[in-house]
Structure 1
Amino acid sequence: MTAPPQASHGLPASPQAAPVEQPSITPVTASTDRASSVEQPSPVEQTECSRAGCRQQAVWALHWRNPRIHAADRRKTWIACGEHVVYLREFLSARDFPVEVAALAQRPA
Structure 2
Amino acid sequence: MTATPDDAPLICSAKGCEGPAKHALLWNNPKIHTPDRRKTWLACDEHEVSLRRFLSARGFWKETQPVSADA
Superposed pair shares fold, TM > 0.5: yes
In the TM superposition, what is the alpha-carbon distance from 1:107 to its structure 2 partner?
A: 1.6
Separation in 2, partners of 1:86, 1:100: 12
Matches within 5 A, 1:19-34: 25-26=1-2
Separation in 2, partners of 1:85, 1:68: 24
Q: Aligned letter for 1:84?
A: H
Matches within 5 A, 1:1-109: 25-26=1-2, 39-41=3-5, 42-44=7-9, 47-107=10-70
Separation in 1, partners of 2:26, 2:59: 13
Which ranges of structure 1 fall in alignment gaps of 5 or more residues?
A: 1-24, 27-38
- Report the aligned-residue RMSD: 1.5
Separation in 1, partners of 2:17, 2:69: 19
Aligned length: 70
Higher relative contact order (CA 8 A, sep 6+): 2
| Runs of 4+ in structure 1 over 4 Å off | none
The structure with the largest strand share of the pair is 2
Larger Rg: 1
Which ranges of structure 2 fall in alignment gaps of 5 or more residues?
A: none
Task: Give identity over the alignment, percent.
Answer: 49
In the TM superposition, what is the alpha-carbon distance from 1:40 to its structure 2 partner?
A: 3.7
Q: TM-score normalized by structure 1?
A: 0.59
